[in-house]
Amino acid sequence: MSQIETYITEHQDQFLEDLKGWLRIPSISTSPEHKGDVLHAAEYAVGQLKDLGISHAGLIETQGHPLVYGEWLEAPGKPTLLIYGHYDVQPVDPIELWESAPFDPTIRNGNIYSRGACDDKGQVMLVLKALETLFQVNGTLPINVKILIEGEEEAGGESIEAYIKAYPERLGCDAAFICDTHMPSPETPALITGLRGIIYTEVVVHGAKRDLHSGTYGGVAPNPLHALAIIISRLKDADGHIHIPGLYDKLHKPSHEEKEFWRQDPLHMNDSFLKEMGVSQLSGELEYPPIERASARPTLEVHGIVGGFTGEGAKTVIPAVAKAKISLRLPPNLQSKEIFTLFEQAVKDAAPPDVRVEVVNLHGGEGVIVSPESQVMQAASEALNGVYGTKPVFLREGGSIPIAALFDEVLHVPVLLMGFGLPDDNLHAPNEKYSLQQFFNGVRTVASLLQKMAQ
Amino acid sequence: MSQIETYITEHQDQFLEDLKGWLRIPSISTSPEHKGDVLHAAEYAVGQLKDLGISHAGLIETQGHPLVYGEWLEAPGKPTLLIYGHYDVQPVDPIELWESAPFDPTIRNGNIYSRGACDDKGQVMLVLKALETLFQVNGTLPINVKILIEGEEEAGGESIEAYIKAYPERLGCDAAFICDTHMPSPETPALITGLRGIIYTEVVVHGAKRDLHSGTYGGVAPNPLHALAIIISRLKDADGHIHIPGLYDKLHKPSHEEKEFWRQDPLHMNDSFLKEMGVSQLSGELEYPPIERASARPTLEVHGIVGGFTGEGAKTVIPAVAKAKISLRLPPNLQSKEIFTLFEQAVKDAAPPDVRVEVVNLHGGEGVIVSPESQVMQAASEALNGVYGTKPVFLREGGSIPIAALFDEVLHVPVLLMGFGLPDDNLHAPNEKYSLQQFFNGVRTVASLLQKMAQ
């Protein structure tokens, strides 16, 4: 057994204890009442960095939640890798569906359950543990590293965007590594070659000046909830087609190779989706292969509707105002600002004339396409092959990591998107988990990646 | 000044204190946590009955909230009037829009503000104060009375329905008086000749077996919120037409006189609606006059949608389940059970094939048409003329008081629908109020009604 392997094996419990300590902090970045917890989680990460040997580590203040930054640049002549992750987490509702409390990390059947277990504290922690392992075994790191961990990934990421744009030279590097993605199964390592961008909006519909009683006003009153239903049904039909004029015109055609890969579905994503969702048929644009729909097509989803009476029982109110949270996932080259303008116009065109509509742009981020040919991607491919015994597949992921586009556009460096999540990790849902086997394989892979980058 | 008028004038403050005491009890019948308050409100009503001279008063236990019952039958040879009201109230959300707390009755500008001020504690209290006035002035009542006050009017009214059907003989009477309606303005007394029925439903849409992340599953996942939007948009279009096959076929044609009254709109309801709602145009079926739409046409309204993320900020969840609260108002002779069956089928037909739909019948009640020719209506007309100095108009009201149909069908007696609410009383909404002038005119009118019925 190599010294690396021995160290990892002997320190499994400690690695998990350090992860649990971080997971216990409810760093929900979108909740003002959790502001102190978010700061606490940032400070915890700084402590971890210092403990593992990165003495130059601390917080960078921003307009929002702080950035965690650490650097170790004592490998002259070797490449510098910028490592990115995030320490904030999603809200926990509906909390009643959690089998164990979201901030009481619990191990069951080889998984650790907690909000943030996979997204993204677990994935960041495995990188830190890979660094610790290399320091402990070799007394040094094989390459230079800069570590940047943000606290607003689930809240729009404005602060890190402003920082990167303001100080690109401070983050100078040879490659950027984002550890926040998935692989299709524990036997199928993957490297991500594309991500979708996003716009997240709130559509606010105003009717009468006050809530009304449907007995007295039903038949003459505007109903903002009904108007929202009409707007939403006009924006996307039951077959998954989005009716935003101009949207599909701007979509780049995928390569012949990608189309063949999607069509053949060698990873059996069709069956995986059916099983993971517990449905008998998939939804959406049936004329496209499922993996293409989930990773490379624009999508529009409603995430919540607010307005009227939603308690137990019956109340015959016609609300004065109703709101819907609606996002679009945008394949690379659909620019978020441009699409928001098209979306806003489409919403206004879809609205019945008896209501007044506002469209709020809560946040946006760009998609990205990365080349599988870069040195860092090749090193990662070899590292995964060494740990998993099989070469990784190159995939697009349907989620949005706007920081990837920023690294690409502002730092002009190759981006590595390598993560160890699994499809059933319940991201953004109750019972989020992370596979312990994936966590430790991640430590091994990242340690190997750094060694290979030094060669 | 008559003795009646003198008594009312001298006891105005005490009348209001007794009303405030009742309004302070948050008797929200749909909230299990308010069960104790609902009972407390019932006991308060019993106390009021006993205090005013109806010694035979108490609670009638039911499967749900108790009925308050009192009777005074010491006027042999005189008619017996059954008086109905309800002591339960609507929920208070959105509570942040109340200018004073909903259960802290507050007098401002000649109105008393509180949940239940108009609907229906204020209207019941004015009847009790009319009885008190007659007792105090004359030492007796001019006719026999039975008083029945329920606690589930806002929650489906099942218990009173069961009671009336089980014991119609106990409620034997010559006429029934329901004090739970409105008049168009303080200068225009009204008697109600028609009410709409109602079905109140919950449409539950199931998608995947768990909440999903739109990044990973957007494009292949069923979205119950989107499916609900499609269902709702298919049930009612932007022009107010309801697409439930068979619904309009069952609608009776109104009389020529009613149609003319609606078309001429002598009460200027069109302008009133615009002003009360603060809108520049009315909604709904523009080919029908506004007053007909609001009182005599079937309507479908969405009252609330539950599902997904509705907090501050952004969460990219695709919920596993979403629910909508939807009601229909049904003109007389559209039977609630029959229409529910049509509605359920229409919802299922409107649902996209990738979701599973349940339709729950939360409650229903029938509409009613009453004759303006009955003795009790004529007596009420004279009483209103005496107090307001002008004859009442005969109107339909758009709301639903299922008990009116029950009195009609089970007790076979003429029903009097006379109330003193005003259109801007904010029923079922924040800042519910009741006009003090209307309250005291109500006391005068009801005292006069009983005297006229004795003649």
CB atoms within 10 A of CB A202: 18
B293 with A230: Cβ contact below 8 A: no
Mutation site for B-interface testing, chosen from A93, A158, A220 by largest number of B Cβ within 10 Å: A220
Asked if B307 and A305 come within 8 Å (Cβ–Cβ), the reply is yes
Q: Which residues of B touch A185 (CB under 8 A)?
A: none
Confidence category of residue B267, pLDDT binned at 50, 70, 90: confident
CB nearest to A314's CB, from B318, B363, B427: B363
The chain B residue lying nearest A422, using CA atoms, is B216
From CA A254, how far away is CA A258, in angstroms rounded? 6
A chain contacts of residue B297, beta-carbon cutoff 8 Å: 219
Nearest chain A Cα distance for residue B129, angstroms: 27
Whether residue B324 is predicted with pLDDT greater than 90 in this model: the reply is: yes
Q: Hunting for tokens 């039903």 — which residue is that?
A: A218
Cα angle: A364, vertex A367, A369; to 5 degrees: 165
List the beta strands (DSSP E) in A23-140: 56-60, 67-72, 80-86, 106-108, 111-113
Mutate which: B315, B326, B334, vs A, most A CBs within 10 A: B315
Question: In this prediction, what percent of chain B has a pLDDT beyond 70?
Answer: 100
Instruction: Return phi, psi of residue A179, to 5°.
Output: -105, 80
Please check whether residue B416 is in contact with residue B175, taking contact to mean a CB–CB distance below 8 angstroms: yes
CB contact under 8 Å between A315 and B325, yes or no, is yes
Q: B155: which chain A residues are within 8 Å (Cβ-Cβ)?
A: 313-314
B359 and B201 Cβ atoms separated by less than 8 Å: yes
Query: What Rg value do the Cα atoms of chain B yield, rounded?
Result: 23
Residue with tokens 């915890």: A44
Q: Which residue carries 């236990």 as its tokens?
A: B61
* B212-220 average pLDDT score: 92
Mean pLDDT of B341-369: 96
Whether residue A15 contacts residue A136, with contact meaning beta carbons closer than 8 Å, is answered with: no
Q: Which residues of A touch B214 (CB under 8 A)?
A: 299, 301, 303, 327, 329
For residue B408, pLDDT over 80 is answered with: yes
Which among B154, B222, B277 has the least Cβ separation from residue A212?
B277
How far is CA A388 from its chain centroid? 24
- φ and ψ at residue A194, rounded to 5 degrees: -160, 145
Angle, helices A3-10 vs A436-454, to 10°: value is 150
Q: Which residues of B touch A289 (CB under 8 A)?
A: none
Strands B175-178 and B321-330: unpaired
User: 């599909």: which residue's tokens?
Assistant: A248
Considering CB atoms only, which of B30, B238, B295 is closest to A313?
B30
Q: Which residue stretches of A310-374 are H helix?
A: 336-350
B interface mutation test: which of A192, A200, A300, A301 has the most B CBs within 10 A?
A: A301
Contacting residues of B for A236, CB less than 8 Å apart? 226
A133 token code pair: 């392992």
Neighboring chain B residues of A208 at a CB cutoff of 8 Å? 276-279
Give pLDDT tens digits along chain A (455 positions). 799 999 999 999 999 999 999 999 999 999 999 999 999 999 999 999 999 999 999 999 999 999 999 999 999 999 999 999 999 999 998 899 999 999 999 999 999 999 999 999 999 999 999 999 999 999 999 999 999 999 999 887 889 999 999 999 999 999 999 999 999 899 999 999 999 999 999 999 999 999 998 998 999 999 999 999 999 999 999 999 999 999 999 898 888 989 999 999 998 999 999 999 999 999 999 999 999 999 999 999 999 999 999 888 788 899 999 999 999 999 998 999 999 999 999 999 999 999 999 999 998 889 999 989 999 999 999 999 999 999 999 999 998 888 999 999 999 999 999 999 998 899 888 999 999 999 999 999 999 999 999 99
Closest-CA residue of chain B to A206: B279
Read off the pLDDT band of B423 (50, 70, 90). Answer: confident
Chain B: give the shortest CA distance to residue A333, in Å.
17
Query: Which residues in chain A touch residue B232, judged by CB atoms under 8 angstroms apart?
Result: 225-226, 229-230, 233
Please give the full DSSP string across B221-275, using - where no structure is assigned: S--HHHHHHHHHHHHB-TTS-B--TTTGGGPPPPPHHHHHHHHH-TT-HHHHHHH
pLDDT at B326: 98
Query: What is the predicted pLDDT for the residue at A423?
Result: 85
Pick from B30, B218, B430: CB nearest A398:
B218
Best of A283, A327, A330 to disrupt the B interface (most B CBs within 10 Å) is A283
Give the C-alpha separation, B432 to B111, whole Å: 10
- Indicate the residue of B182, B208, B229 with minimum beta-carbon distance to A232: B229
The ipTM (two decimal places) reads 0.84
Residue of A196, A214, A243, A299 to mutate, interface with B, max B Cβ within 10 Å: A214
Beta-sheet pairing, A393-397 with A190-195: parallel
Strand partners, B150: B86
CA distance B283 to chain A (A): 5
Q: Report whether pLDDT(B156) > 90.
A: no
With CA atoms as reference, the chain B residue closest to A215 would be B399
A1: exposed, middle or buried (C-beta count within 10 Å: 0-12, 13-18, 19+)? exposed
* Nearest by CB: B302 against A210, A229, A301: A229
Written as one letter, the residue type at A25 is: I
User: What are the structural domains of chain B?
Assistant: 3-195+367-454 (3.40.630.10), 198-253+295-364 (3.30.70.360)
- Place B428 in a pLDDT band, splitting at 50, 70 and 90: confident
Query: Going by DSSP bridges, is the β-strand pair B356-365/B197-206 parallel, antiparallel, or unpaired?
Result: antiparallel
Q: pLDDT value at position A14? A: 98
CB contact under 8 A, A303 and B285: no
Give the relative orientation of helices B3-10 and B121-138 as an angle to the nearest 10 degrees. Answer: 130
Shortest CB distance from B310 goes to which of A232, A279, A304? Answer: A304
Mean pLDDT of chain B: 95
Q: Which residues of A289-321 are buried (b: 16+ CB within 10 A; e: fewer)?
A: bbbbbbbbbbbbbbbbbbbbbbeebbbbbbbbb
Q: Is B315 close to A182, i.e. CB distance below 8 A?
A: no
**Tokens 């191990």 identify what position?**
A107
Between the alpha carbon of residue B265 and those of residues B5, B134, B424, the distances in Å are 35, 38, 19
Token reading at A134: 């290399």
Please name which of A204, A200, A202, A284 lies closest in space to residue A242, comparing C-alpha atoms: A284
Contacts of residue B305, Cβ cutoff 8 Å, sequence gap at least 6: A225, A305, A307, A308, A310, B225, B228, B322, B323, B324, B325
How many residue pairs bridge chain A and chain B with CB atoms within 8 Å of each other? 360
Residue A180 distance to chain B (closest CA, Å):
12
Q: Which residue of A has its CA nearest to B352?
A: A238
Looking at residue B274, its pLDDT comes to 96
Please list, in sequence order, all residues whose beta carbon lies within 8 angstroms of the beta carbon of residue B2, skipping any fewer than 6 positions away: none
**pLDDT at residue A274 in the model:** 96
- Whole-number Å distance between alpha carbons of B392 and B394: 7
Beta carbons of A362 and B313 less than 8 Å apart? yes
- Three-state secondary-structure class, residue A50: helix
Task: Summarize pLDDT for B9-39 with one digit per residue, the tens.
Answer: 999 999 999 999 999 999 999 999 999 999 9
Contact between chains at A216 and B399 (C-beta distance less than 8 A)? yes
Q: Does B218 contact A329 at a Cβ distance shorter than 8 Å?
A: yes
- Inspect the interface and report whether the beta carbons of A91 and B311 lie closer than 8 Å: yes
CB atoms A229 and B232 under 8 Å: yes
* Dihedral Cα A345, A346, A350, A352, nearest 10 deg: -10
Average the pLDDT over B360-386 and give the result. 94
